[in-house]
Structure formats: C-alpha cells, structure tokens
Amino acid sequence: MLPEAVAENPTAGAVYQQLPEAIVDAKSGFGELTLGIAQNQIVDVCRVLKNSVGFERLSAVTAVDWWPREPRFEVVYLLHSIRENARLRLNVRLGEDEDEDEEIDSICSVWRGANWYEREVFDLFGIRFRNHPNLERIMMPGDWEGHPLRKDYPVHGHKYSYQDE
Amino acid sequence: MRTHERDAAVIEGKAHVASLDAEHELTIEEPSGLKPPVEQPGTGRRMTLNMGPQHPSTHGVLRVVLELDGETILKARPEIGYLHTGIEKQCEGRKYQQVIPLTDRVDYLANLSNNLCYSLAVERLLSLEIPPMAQWMRVMLAELTRISSHLIWLGTHALDIGAMSVYFYCFREREEILKVFEMFSGQRMMTSYIRIGGLALEPPRGWHKAVTALINRLTRGVDEYQNLLATNPIWVNRTKGVGMMPLNMMIDLGVTGPLLRAAGLKIDARKDCPHSSYELFDFDVPTRTGNDVYARFEVRMEEMRQSVRIVKQTLDGMPSGPFQADAAHVVLPDREKMKTQMESLIYHFKIVTEGFRVPAGSVYQVVESPRGELGYYVVSDGTANPHRVFMRTPSFGNLQALGAMLEGVLIADSIAIMGSLDFVLGDVDR
C-alpha cells in the first residue's frame, strides 16, 4: 500500500512490485523521493535498486540521531542513478523491534563504496553493521570511548568537564 | 642462507664475498621451517612501510600503510581521521547562519563551493528565492574557486613528480584569484561570502575591472602550463598509463568528479542538476578516455578553460539588482536601515540573538565542487539550529578508491596517483 503521493513513481513502484513488504513509508518533498525501508530488508532493496532499477551509485550512507525520541536512530542511504539522472533516499528507522536495536545489515556486498561510510556511521553513532568486512573506527582513535555524533554526547567529550559551563 | 641474511652477513664482515657465487649457493640447504612459504615475484621480501601521516606528497595528514615487495606495492591501506575536527557535531550546536564559517573549513581549497552548497540546501528548506544578480555572482565565484583549487592541484601534483617551476607559476596566479576574493569579502581564503539568502556584502566597486584583468591573465596562463607539462617527456612518461581503474569499479567505490570524466563518463552536477542558474551558461563538460593520471590532468586543464569561459559570460551579462533575497526574517538588514528604522532593528536583533527558524524537513543538495560531487544533507527539526548536517565530501569517496588503485603499482607511481586524486584532507576528515 504505497501512499498516493509516490504511487506513480516508477522507482517506488518497481521496489514495491518485487519486495512488497519492504516499503514501510514513502514521502516526497523538495523534489526528492524518500522511501522508508524495513530494517531487515535493506540489503534486498539495495540489490533490487542497483540491479533492476538502475541506481548504480551509492552517494553516501549516514545516520540521524533523534534522541530522546523513540525509535532513536535513522540510517540514511543516498542513491544516485547516473543513467536516469535521478536521486533517491532510503531511510531505515532502527530499533522498531526491541531485539534488533542499533544493528543493521551492511550493504558492502552491494556497493563496495559503502565500506567507509558504514565505518563512519559506526564510529560516530555506534550503529553496528552486520557482515561488514572491517568494522573499525575510522575518524576517532581506536581506543576512543563513546560515539561523538550521538545527541547525548557533549561537544567537549565525556572525559572533560568544565566547571564554568 | 637466504639472500637478505647473506647480504647482512657480508655487510657485517661475517661472510666472505667468495661465498656469493651461484655454485656455492646451490649447495646451501635451508634449515627446515625457515623457508619462505610462498615465492613472491621480485625479491620475495615483504616490507611494511608507513607513508605519512606527515609526508609531503600525501598533501596533508593522510597515512597510507604500504605492504611492499621491493618497489612494488602489494597492498595499500589508507588511514584517515588525523584531521577530524568534528565539524558536523559543531554544526548542531550553532544557528543556521553560524554554520557558514565552518563550511569554509571543510574543503579549505574550495571554500566558496562549500558555502554555496550549504546555502542552497538551507534556502531550499526555507523556500527562498535568490535574486539573479546574487545567483550569477555565486556562479562566478564558484568558478574562480574551481580555477584556484585546480591551480593548487596542478602545482603540487607537478612538484611531487619533479616539475618544480610549474608550482611557482600556479601559486602566482592563485594569489591573484585570492586577491579578488579578498576584494569581495575581506578574506583571502576563509571567505564566508556566500550566505543564506544571497551574498554577505555588496560586490565591491571595481570588481568588474579586477576580474576582467584576472581572466585575461588566466586565459594565457592555463595554456602556458599545459604546454610546459604536456611537452615534457618526463611528465608524460610518469603519468601516461598510470593509475588506471575500470570505470564500473570507480563508480562502485564512490569515486566522483574529474576521475570519472577522465574515464569517459560525462557526469557533472552543474549540468545534471543545475543550481544557481548554471543552466543559463554555455559550457562543455570535458571528458577523456585515457583513464590514467595524464587523462585526469587533461580533464582538469580543460575544466579550467571552461571555468574561464563561464566567468567571461558572467562578466558580460551580470544582471543588476539586489544581492540578497527579500526575506527580512533571514537576511540581516542593511546597516543604515538598521540604525534608522525600528523594524529593521528588531529583525536584526532577532536574527542575531535567536536566529531564524527553518521548517522541519530534510534536503540533500548537490553541487559540483572542484573535486567531484559535494553534497549537504541538512535535516531540520523546525528550530533555529540544524538537527543534522551531513557533508558528502568528494575527497572521502575518491580516497576510498586509493587502496585498490595502488595495488600492484610501483611506489614511485603512488605519488603520481595520489596527486591525480586531488584530495584535501580537511574534506576527507571534516
């Protein structure tokens, strides 16, 4: 059941046809299409988009922290089709089910370029990617504690407290 | 005795040189368990070498861990993060207009491209309409930024490979561009000149004359540098056929910009998703099919010529009119009005103290930076502070391909390949 606003969009239609359970939400704003994807279907959706819809490029993977709102994390995939000159955004809300908290399948098997982006999200948000070839910190030092882009992480870090503030 | 042990023994005087003859070597038995497991091509001796983080040809603080066999790179692993300054985190604690100076510092060689991309993203969230004069001025400055960034790339790239004089010429011309930036904004590098809603200041008196003189100079200059290098046999030998990578692999790894164009793909955000009235300008997207360091050199040289062409068009047809949008709640009022009119004073006070609220929503804005696809993903929750600013920087994506590109090449070629990627570490680490 695609929302009316995107029902006629060929991209959304193609995904819906092949994986009817995957799209949980869809909206279109500022001329950009955003599809909400179920957490456990992201790899299949990416594979369909790359192989049969023509989104051959992954621009980036990032995340948004909505703390203290629940569900807290949203992983965002920015896709680009060079042939069609189209862009698409996939949103995955993490932790809708209690047992799947803060963990999602890696899409490195679809695009190798996802490697560093997923490492960055892991480093700065603490979201784990299953089946990632090398899930290590990339920006922060290896022994760093905490994940700086989380909203409950202070700008100056946990280790220091400034009395004057 | 294996070769390297024998060499060491000879150096230390423990073995006679006579024992080096081939006949003798054949009779030497390796003690069991000490045999090298696999016979590698080359010397068979593996060495791990740290290139960087402080190394002149890594153009900043990039560390590449090289696994070498003689002079051949078997594996290369780029390590980044040495320049991570948490700009994305800092953005979240600031008002929308206060983020502009941070964007300057992301890609510090293409400041105005970053100003432009962020401003466009927020303007889309605010549904602001930018007057034509400001749009054209943005195009002109973005193209001058591209030329100045490419000049730095050319100078340092050539210097790495050994052509020293080009470096001085490039920096000489770049200084002239920076003087124009200073004339506009008062700053040579961290300009913050493109703001949400238009430009920071009215274009200065005499800008037209200054830019015309600059463009005349650059038109000659670009040809001169291309001749200097393209007719230099050392340059050609060091760059032709080096650093090739299949196009689909580059796309898979997230490479954008001149690297894809040098592999024959006509991709340019200025044409594909025009912004700031780029659709009104007449320019070509240069491509080559060489897919090597030399092709990337040619593409960037041609891009400079196209940028000169665009700047000439802006000089000829610059529209007149306001340089800021008609949006009193976003754009700071004119200084004179602020001091004489109550309403302007109130707006000024409100913008400076509270900022302006941006409707909730999210946009991903793309511009073509000198290095490739630069994108700002801005998420607003309806307050005066951005909820999240993600910078999709071209250098990060391009650098990801470095490891694969360096596999199997000579260590001397790695310098040429790194130069051809044209990454800026501020842009990678943010």
Tokens of A34: 């955003």
Structure tokens given for B164: 């020293």
Q: CA-CA distance, B377 to B392, in Å (whole number)?
A: 8
Look at residue A139 and tell me if it is in a domain: no
Is B373 within 8 Å of B110 (Cβ atoms)? no
A111–B379 C-beta distance less than 8 A? no
Cβ contact, residue pair B253, A112, below 8 Å: yes
Q: What is the pLDDT of residues B276-316, one digit of tens each?
A: 888 899 999 999 888 889 999 999 999 999 999 999 999 99
The whole-number pLDDT of residue A1 equals: 56
**C-beta separation of A44 from B240 below 8 A:** no
Query: A8 lies in which domain range?
Result: 4-130
Q: Answer yes or no: are the C-beta atoms of A102 and A126 closer than 8 Å.
A: yes
Identify whether the C-beta of residue B293 lies closer than 8 Å to the C-beta of residue B242.
yes
B8-64 confidence digits (pLDDT tens): 444 444 444 333 344 434 333 444 444 444 444 556 678 888 887 877 777 778 888
Number of domains into which chain A is organized: 1
Please state the rounded mean pLDDT for residues B254-263: 91
Contact: A30, B373; criterion CB under 8 Å: no
pLDDT score of A4: 64
Residue B33's CB is within 10 A of a number of other CB atoms, namely 5
In whole angstroms, what is the distance from residue B86 CA to residue B423 CA?
A: 19
User: CATH number, domain at A79?
Assistant: 3.30.460.80
What confidence tens digit (pLDDT) does each residue in B22-35 have? Answer: 443 433 344 444 44
Distance CA B224, CA B151 (A): 12
- Asked if A147 and A126 count as a contact pair (C-beta separation under 8 A), the reply is yes
Inter-chain residue contact A57 with B273, CB threshold 8 Å = no
Domain locations in chain B as residue ranges:
1-35, 87-429
Q: What pLDDT score does B59 carry?
A: 76
Task: Please check whether residue A9 touches B, CB under 8 A.
Answer: no
pLDDT tens column, B368-416: 999 999 999 999 998 999 999 999 999 999 999 998 898 888 888 888 8
Which stretches of A28-97 are DSSP H helices?
42-48
Residue A122 belongs to some domain of the structure: yes
A64-77 pLDDT, tens digit per residue, is: 998 888 788 899 99
Write the pLDDT tens digit of every residue in B75-91.
Answer: 898 988 888 888 999 99
What's the mean pLDDT in B255-265?
90
Instruction: Note whether residue A67 is domain-resident.
Output: yes
Topology at the third CATH level for domain B87-429? Cytochrome-c3 Hydrogenase; chain B (1.10.645)
Chain B residues with CB-CB distance to A148 below 8 A: 86, 89
* pLDDT at residue B138 is higher than 50: yes
Whether residue A146 is contained in a domain is answered as no
**CB spacing of A89 vs B364 below 8 angstroms:** yes
**Chain B residues within 8 angstroms (CB to CB) of chain A:** 80-81, 84, 86, 88-90, 92-93, 124-125, 248, 251-254, 265, 267, 272-273, 361-364, 366, 373, 375, 377, 379, 387-388, 390, 392, 396-397, 400, 429-430
Segment B89-133, tens digit of pLDDT: 999 989 999 999 999 999 889 999 999 999 999 999 998 899 999
Phi, psi at residue B131, to the nearest 5°? -65, 150
Q: Provide the pairing of β-strand A128-130 with A103-105.
A: parallel
Asked whether residue A144 is assigned to any structural domain, the reply reads no
> Which site among B252, B272, B407 would you substitute to test the A interface, given the most A Cβ atoms closer than 10 Å to its Cβ?
B252
The helix (run of H) or strand (run of E) holding residue B338 is: helix B335-340
pTM over 0.95, yes/no: no
Angle between helices B132-161 and B411-421 (to 10 degrees): 170
Handedness of CA A20, A23, A29, A30 (dihedral sign): negative
Does residue A147 lie within any of the structural domains? no
Averaged pLDDT, A112-129: 91
